[in-house]
Structure 1
Amino acid sequence: MAKVTLQQLRKVYPNGYVGVADASFEIDDGELLVLVGPSGCGKSTLLRMVAGLESISSGELRIGDRVVNDMPPKDRDIAMVFQSYALYPHMTVAENLGFGLKLRGASKAEIAERVKAAAATLELESLLDRKPAALSGGQRQRVALGRALVRKPQVFLLDEPLSNLDAKLRMTMRVEIARLHRQLETTMIYVTHDQVEAMTLGHRIVVMKDGKIQQIDTPMALYNRPVNLFVATFLGSPKMNTLWGQVVERENALYLRIADGVELRLRPEGELLEKVRAYLGRELMIGLRPEDMHPAEAGPDTLPAKVEVVEPVGNEAFLNLGCGGCDLVVRLPPFHLPKVGDTVHLAYSAERMHFFDRESELRL
């Protein structure tokens, strides 16, 4: 196990495109850190730089107390699990698990011992004589994990390992990986574009966009205190609702004027109150999570919205609504739902509002 340290790590391609821009953070010994972001954000490039599969343009990368910038992958003491299982089809599960050790000159006894231990950890004992064609997708992914596990590396690198699985298997394998990490207490770096995977697996999450790190924090800190609009809307399903309009004051109360006759009461406190007052006569953006709004009796502190789509999904339902040119989603219990075309009045948790500058999209 080892700490991984990135200092101003940068990747610039020959055509001048910046794949990763000055990434700096530490991954603690035994931590499971998730890199998350949309396709093309640089998360896999960053992981491949740690693995040694992508050259580093500038900056410093340390694994433990070693600078590994120019060290070949085989000497970095890491193991990588890819999106593709990359199993050898002509080999049995046992042979696939032990092949990497065989290449490194391990003895037959050591290979057998490590393969047996990995198979027990991942519940593969009954499958050791099978070939990949006779395995399900989840079983193949466990073999790919086991192949990395037998190496006993200092750092595990996982590049979207669950992307090829269906929804049910992804959930099962998420639990498997979390359980495996608790058992091994090994440093893991996990790349995904799936924010649910990121939120449920990561001790901390690195959110990336366009090669740049947007925010690094624990899952719930990112959810409750996003540093900008991108982080706010990327994490959470359904995503955060955003409403924008002009800040106005009436009878010592602040409102967001979304459209003619449609206003949202603002109740900022402390330092935030003065920051919002500075936007009087200017545009401001407000964020509210779907669970922080609910239908209520019409009143001065409610927001009128028209129901456009009702989505019952079993244990809950989602209302898709239109309000003054803004699209909203509200999460509700699946009982006594309004109908499409109805106008509902939404109450909202003022203390759960998020305030963003309309131009910079930074949190106030």
Structure 2
Amino acid sequence: MASVRLDQLRKVYPNGHVAVEEASFEIASGELMVLVGPSGCGKTTLLRMIAGLEPISAGTLSIDGRVVNEVAPKERDVAMVFQNYALYPHMTVAENLGFGLRLRGAARDEVARRVREVARTLELEDRLDARPAALSGGQRQRVALGRALVRDPKVFLLDEPLSNLDARLRVAMRVEIARLHQRLGATMVYVTHDQIEAMTLGQRIVVFDRGRIQQIDTPMNLYRRPANLFVAGFLGSPAMNFLRGTLRRDGGWRLETPHGALALGEPPAAPAAWAGREVVVGVRPEDLEPAPAAEAVLAARVEVVEPVGNEVFLNLRFDGRPLVARLPPRTLPAPGDTLPLRFAAERLHFFDAASGGRIGD
């Protein structure tokens, strides 16, 4: 396996559109790094630059210490798994798996050996004689993965490989990819717009927006300490709630909004220097909980109740803004009810209302 290093990597198209702006980070040998962000943010473009399918406008790309900016894709020793399976319909699973090796002139015995090994790893041994049309979606995706595995490349590049699967298969294949990575210890770069995939698969995550890196960290660090409003709102399902107002210090901290003041208690993250300035206070849905009226910080109107079995999402309206609370299943309010709520001061997040950047702690 190999490390991958990006140093000020940039991609500008002839029309002047900047798809990737100054991307710098390193993927350690054997690491599973996830690139996540909304559609059109530049993550797939960056993956294609690593693969050699997109020319690099500026910066340096190194694989295992070797600068590969001008190296042809086939000489980079990387394998890419695309969103579309792109299997050859007239070939069997075994022929699809071994095609790349045969194309490179590998001996027949070597091809057969590698195909058997990969089929065993992906539990495809009993499907080697089948053609793609006879396979399920999950099996086809495993064949696409196997076609990359059989080459034993330095780096695996996966471009939204699960987006064509139904919800149940996506969950199953997510687990399969995680197990495969643990078993192989392979260097993998995985692109997705699905933040659940990113959080569950990535050892570290690179969050993209509009061609720029917003934050790089482990999944839980991103969740607990988002660097800005974009990351805070993008990672988490349901997303973080935001309350905008002026921060005041009067006995305790409070947030002044157009419809009144919210008592914030004594949050450790409250930035004393920001008293009197406009901020955005973030609170995760699981940190909003019903409370007796005497202990409530705010009262919100229930709009929609979404039971999903082991938990319930309450879609609320407060101060003209939507809020979401995540609650355990129990006796629930009805749409139209007013619900008193509180939150733990130590779980609040503070952001600059102008720049969106995190402030405090």
The answer, yes or no, to whether TM exceeds 0.5 is yes
Equivalents in 1 of 2:306, 2:342: separation in Å?
20
Give the 3-state SS of the residue equivalent to 2:358 in structure 1: coil
| Cα pair 2:296 2:340 within 8 Å, conserved | no
Partner residue of 1:283 out of 278, 282, 300: 278
| Cα pair 1:295 1:346 within 8 Å, conserved | yes
CA-to-partner distance for each residue in 1:275-308, whole Å, 9 max, x for gaps?
332xx1x321100000001001012552111111
Q: Within 5 Å, which residues of 2 pair with 1:219-258?
A: 219-250=219-250, 252-258=251-257
Q: Within 5 Å, which residues of 2 pair with 1:70-149?
A: 70-149=70-149
Match of 1:339 in 2: 334
TM-fit CA distance, 1:65? 1.9
1:362 to 2:357 alignment: yes
Equivalents in 2 of 1:108, 1:314: separation in Å?
53
| Cα pair 1:102 1:111 within 8 Å, conserved | yes
TM-fit CA distance, 1:349? 1.0
Give the 3-state SS of the residue equivalent to 2:232 in structure 1: helix
Amino acid at match of 1:362: G
| Cα pair 1:262 1:303 within 8 Å, conserved | no
Amino acid at match of 1:123: E
Equivalents in 1 of 2:158, 2:165: separation in Å?
15
Structure 2 unaligned segments of length 5 or more: list them: none
Give the 3-state SS of the residue equivalent to 2:80 in structure 1: strand
TM-score, normalized by length of structure 1? 0.97
Match of 1:265 in 2: 264
Equivalents in 2 of 1:289, 1:57: separation in Å?
40
Equivalents in 1 of 2:349, 2:194: separation in Å?
23
Aligned residues: 359
Amino acid at match of 2:322: D
| Cα pair 1:265 1:301 within 8 Å, conserved | no
Equivalents in 2 of 1:328, 1:13: separation in Å?
40
Equivalents in 1 of 2:157, 2:16: separation in Å?
27
CA-to-partner distance for each residue in 1:11-59, whole Å, 9 max, x for gaps?
0111111110011100000000000000010000000000000000011
Partner residue of 2:324 out of 314, 329, 333: 329
Give the 3-state SS of the residue equivalent to 1:110 in structure 2: helix
CA-to-partner distance for each residue in 1:307-330, whole Å, 9 max, x for gaps?
111111111101111111121000
Give the 3-state SS of the residue equivalent to 1:71 in structure 2: coil
Equivalents in 1 of 2:94, 2:56: separation in Å?
35
Match of 1:30 in 2: 30
Structure 1 unaligned segments of length 5 or more: list them: none
Give the 3-state SS of the residue equivalent to 1:117 in structure 2: helix
CA-to-partner distance for each residue in 1:102-136, whole Å, 9 max, x for gaps?
00000010000000000000000111001001111
TM-fit CA distance, 1:253? 1.9
Q: Within 5 Å, which residues of 2 pair with 1:209-224?
A: 209-224=209-224
Equivalents in 2 of 1:144, 1:197: separation in Å?
18
Equivalents in 2 of 1:162, 1:188: separation in Å?
15
Match of 2:290 in 1: 295
Give the 3-state SS of the residue equivalent to 1:196 in structure 2: helix
Match of 1:316 in 2: 311
Q: Within 5 Å, which residues of 2 pair with 1:41-56?
A: 41-56=41-56
Amino acid at match of 2:272: E
| Cα pair 2:295 2:342 within 8 Å, conserved | no
1:349 to 2:347 alignment: no
TM-fit CA distance, 1:359? 1.0
Match of 1:175 in 2: 175
Give the 3-state SS of the residue equivalent to 2:306 in structure 1: strand
Match of 1:274 in 2: 272
Which is worse superposed, 92-101 or 331-340?
331-340
Give the 3-state SS of the residue equivalent to 1:299 in structure 2: helix
TM-fit CA distance, 1:259? 3.5
TM-fit CA distance, 1:248? 3.0
Amino acid at match of 1:286: V
Match of 1:66 in 2: 66
| Cα pair 1:262 1:304 within 8 Å, conserved | no
Equivalents in 1 of 2:111, 2:219: separation in Å?
38
Match of 2:159 in 1: 159
Identity score, percent? 65
Amino acid at match of 1:34: V
| Cα pair 1:10 1:57 within 8 Å, conserved | yes
Give the 3-state SS of the residue equivalent to 1:129 in structure 2: coil
Equivalents in 2 of 1:66, 1:161: separation in Å?
27
Cα RMSD (Å) of the superposition? Answer: 1.1
Equivalents in 2 of 1:300, 1:362: separation in Å?
31
TM-score, normalized by length of structure 2? 0.97
TM-fit CA distance, 1:145? 0.3
